[in-house]
Amino acid sequence: MTKRILIVGESASVRRVESFVLSSAGYEVMEAVDGEDALARLAGRRVHLVLTGLDMPNLDGLGLIRAIREHAAHRFTPVVMITTPSQAPRKQDGRAAGATGWIAKPFTPDQLLTAVRRVIGA
């Protein structure tokens, strides 16, 4: 079974790169531009992992994590935050909201794949 990953972030170019890396490794990838879009895309779908940025319009990453944790169908879905060094203090906020972990930018394709495999396997 192919594992499905939802990438959430306002930067189309970053989503495109992450999507390319993950789909090239055999994952099925969905994309969302912000937290509200992500919740709409999650409706009725099973995903194995959510990768989310923090700063987004409409519903930011922390709000998205909280909303995912409140939804019975996705309560236990791993959620990994994509952060920048300046957002390091927000890691605790993410953990409190229910984040499974984080990946700090910039990262290489290998680092992204290693992190994903660590959380959901191949």
Q: Spell out where the chain has E strands.
A: 4-8, 28-32, 49-52, 79-83, 101-104
CATH number of the domain at 63, please. Answer: 3.40.50.2300
Question: What is the chain's pLDDT, residue by residue, as a tens digit (122 residues)?
Answer: 799 999 999 999 999 999 999 999 999 999 999 999 999 999 989 999 999 999 999 999 999 999 999 999 999 999 999 988 777 778 888 999 999 999 988 899 999 999 999 999 87
Q: Residue 45 belongs to what domain range?
A: 4-120
The count of domains in the chain is: 1
pTM of the model: 0.94
